[in-house]
Chain A
Amino acid sequence: MLSSRNIAYKLILIITVCSVTIFAVTIGYFYHSSRVTLERELEETARNLVLASVNRMETELSSIGKVGEGVVRSLETGNYPEKSLNTLLKGTLEGNTNIYGFGAAFEPDAPNTHTRPVNYFCRKNGQISFVPVNDLQFRTHDWYQIPKELGKKEWSEPYFDTDVEILMTSCSVPFYDGAGDNRRFRGIVVADVSLAWLKDIVASIKVLKTGYCFLISRNGTMLTHPDKEMVMNETVFSIAESRNNPELYEIGRKMVRGESGFTPYIGARGVKSWMYYAPVSSTGWTLAVVFPEAELYAEVRALTIRVACMGCAGILLLALAVALIARSITTPLHELAEATEEIASGNFDAELPPVRSQDEVGKLSQAFISMNKALKEYIRNLTETTAAKERIQSELKVATDIQLSLLPRIFPPFPDRPEFDIFASMDPAKEVGGDFYDFFFIDDTNLCFLIADVADKGVPAALYMMVAKTLLKSEGQRLGEPERILSCVNNILAADNDRCMFATVFCAILDTGSGVVRYANAGHNPPLIMESQGIRYLTLKSGFVMGPVTDTVYEAERLTMQPGDTLFLYTDGVTEAKNSEDLLYGESQLLYDLQQGPRENLADMIHHIRDRVALHANGAPQSDDVTMVAITYRGSGSG
């Protein structure tokens, strides 16, 4: 599909796809690592924030604890009568504004110098006043019972004081008298602390825009939360329950166990958030800070979007640049293609676009211009050559006609001579050939007939053939004997024959009255005699070929033809006809085909052999002239 598109389209597509891929991977990596870095930084910030706040709480709480411990030490080391105890308690409360109420509770069996089991002071309307407590059930309350049992300072679960409507917690410190085995528990010093300051500390922690903090007690109760409804009414676990959020439940368990952590968290209304929490160790509370993820990543997101926009703009610019470059390449190519098409359609004068640059396209244009020039030149040469060749061809055609016209072609040639039949044919391998035949009367009764093959083929052979044929006829009519004809013509030809051209000639004279044939051979293939008892090759003396050497001697031989006998003369174009496998037609095949073929009509006989030779060649090109002469003696006519 892509292969059919143009170059500009392909370039833009490929480059854009690559750029977008690279850019997307880069920006993805950037976004991811930014997030990771941001999370790490945020965790650090959150931890610092929380730990700093926790420290502030610890400091505050420990100072309150120390107040209680100081009073305990006083009680354990000195003997305070009720009045001085009240002074101590009241004074302490006065000196510590963050304590709301302060008092001491005693064991009933303690060697008590006091009339009251509890001495308690608290702030009311800016005044410190004594609060009488007569209910002795306090000894079963947690604030008394737990530190007594544990034997150490204890912070109570925060509680809501309905009288003053303030969230409170109590710090209870047990005190004893005696030492070692005599050490006995005497009572508890308790400081009630308003937790209003806690709210301020927690509220002062600001994380991002909508991030917030909350504090939970060791039971998971909400001590502070931006949503006031939750304070003291909800626990982490009840929230987890209502939101159906098992992860929050798990976080709550970790908080209660006093662990710290940084964890993703689904906040109220399903807001994806992160939470950091750490314990306030002295009270077992946990301070947690929550911040929504969207805000956390807002900046990274904004930055990423800005970078993405810039990247997209860059890619657009890149695509534009590629399109321009592609155009600058393809426009000349397109022009070149159009011009080339016109040239291909035959208009070699079509104008090729000018070479504008030296780059590859410029070189291509240059090459096309050169090619066009070379083509024009070639076509011009070809036209000239073709014209010249056509001229030669037409001349050769004329030569073929002349050569053929030299051979007797009208059959029967002597219609008024019933003593014999004669037929002949010559098919040149090229336009003009070296083979020829002839027959003519020397006198009333003697018919001279001959077949010849000039060495080689083509124009030189044809020229030589003309001379040889003319000489053979003129000398034949003059001399009247075959051996003398050959000797005489040989000497004439050999006199001036540096190229050693030669011809093989079988020359014979038939006495039409008697059927006697006198013949002489100049290196020609032996003819066949077809008699009533069969067909055979004539055994004859092989004289030397005619033409190259002077004074060659030829011998005359003779045979007598009975009426009905036929002499079959041929050139080696017949027997040496080849097929595509270089297999020769051969003498034995010729003998066989003559035996099988028609005997009565000589034209049929020769055509039959011609067909057999063509069948043997089976389309292979004819390599030599094919010439045949057949003559049948019919008798003198008297008998």
Chain B
Amino acid sequence: MEFQVKKEANATVVMITGRMDAVTAPQYESSVNELITGGDTIIVVDFDGLDYISSAGLRGLLVTAKLLKAKGGQLRFANVKGTVREVFDISGFGSIFQMDDSVAESLAKLA
């Protein structure tokens, strides 16, 4: 999995590509934790390049969401589609998280 961070005016965009599973989820977790402890509490996660997410990956998303909630931050997911979207739908994650069709939309909703 690749992890890229891009600072926008009103949020930090995190781009994840590849596979998010038991092996790579801890990397996502620690990277986002670093952002949060560094003061970035408004985060948009771009799922555009993500091919696969396992239950361990979902747990990683939950851990960071919980941490962000404790800090009073905001979290939006953009470009959740394909098989990842199916997993989100089955597991009910789609109804728990704020989902947008694009990063621009997420940024607009955060503004």
Asked if A172 is an interface residue, CB under 8 A from chain B, the answer is no
> Which of A500, A504, A524, A525 has the most B CB atoms < 10 Å from its CB?
A500
Cβ A544 vs Cβ B62 within 8 A: no
Contact-residue size bin, chain B (C-beta under 8 Å from the other chain): 10 to 19
Interfacial chain A residues near B58, Cβ < 8 Å: 455, 502, 545
Asked if A12 is an interface residue, CB under 8 A from chain B, the answer is no
Cβ A526 vs Cβ B56 within 8 A: no
A525-B86 Cα distance, complex, nearest whole Å:
10
Asked if A141 is an interface residue, CB under 8 A from chain B, the answer is no
CB distance from A461 to the nearest CB of B (A): 9
Cβ B92 vs Cβ A543 within 8 A: yes
Cβ B66 vs Cβ A548 within 8 A: yes
Cβ-neighbour of A504 out of B66, B91, B94 (below 8 A) = B91
> Which of A501, A545, A572 has the most B CB atoms < 10 Å from its CB?
A545
A543-B56 Cα distance, complex, nearest whole Å:
18
Asked if B90 is an interface residue, CB under 8 A from chain A, the answer is yes
Asked if A209 is an interface residue, CB under 8 A from chain B, the answer is no
Cβ-neighbour of A542 out of B55, B62, B90 (below 8 A) = B90
Contact-residue size bin, chain A (C-beta under 8 Å from the other chain): 20 to 34
Cβ A456 vs Cβ B91 within 8 A: no
- Interface 0/1 of A135-164, CB less than 8 Å to B: 000000000000000000000000000000
Chain B residue at minimal CB-CB distance from A456 = B56
Interfacial chain B residues near A457, Cβ < 8 Å: 22
Chain A residue at minimal CB-CB distance from B89 = A542
Interfacial chain B residues near A455, Cβ < 8 Å: 55-56, 58-59
Asked if A83 is an interface residue, CB under 8 A from chain B, the answer is no
Asked if A215 is an interface residue, CB under 8 A from chain B, the answer is no
Cβ A499 vs Cβ B95 within 8 A: no
Interfacial chain B residues near A544, Cβ < 8 Å: 91-93, 95-96
Asked if B104 is an interface residue, CB under 8 A from chain A, the answer is no
Chain B residue at minimal CB-CB distance from A572 = B55
Chain A residue at minimal CB-CB distance from B87 = A572
Q: Which of A545-574 contact B (CB under 8 A)?
A: 545, 548-549, 572
**Assuming the A-B contacts A456-B22, A456-B55, are A525 and B90 also in contact, with contact meaning beta carbons closer than 8 angstroms in the complex?**
yes
- Interface 0/1 of A497-523, CB less than 8 Å to B: 011111010000000000000000011
Asked if A69 is an interface residue, CB under 8 A from chain B, the answer is no
Cβ B90 vs Cβ A524 within 8 A: yes
Interfacial chain A residues near B55, Cβ < 8 Å: 453-456, 502, 504, 572
- Interface 0/1 of B33-71, CB less than 8 Å to A: 000000000000000000000011011001100100000
Cβ-neighbour of A523 out of B63, B66, B90 (below 8 A) = B90
Interfacial chain B residues near A499, Cβ < 8 Å: 59, 63
A81-B22 Cα distance, complex, nearest whole Å:
157
Cβ B90 vs Cβ A526 within 8 A: yes
Cβ A502 vs Cβ B89 within 8 A: no
Q: Which of A474-508 contact B (CB under 8 A)?
A: 498-502, 504
Cβ A523 vs Cβ B91 within 8 A: yes
CB distance from B25 to the nearest CB of A (A): 9
A502-B60 Cα distance, complex, nearest whole Å:
11
A114-B62 Cα distance, complex, nearest whole Å:
168
A504-B58 Cα distance, complex, nearest whole Å:
11
Q: A500-B59, A504-B90 are in contact. List 7 more A-B contacts (CB 8 A).
A: A455-B56, A522-B92, A543-B92, A544-B96, A545-B58, A548-B66, A572-B55
Q: Footprint of B on A, CB under 8 Å? A: 453-457, 498-502, 504, 522-526, 542-545, 548-549, 572
Q: Footprint of A on B, CB under 8 Å? A: 22, 55-56, 58-59, 62-63, 66, 89-96
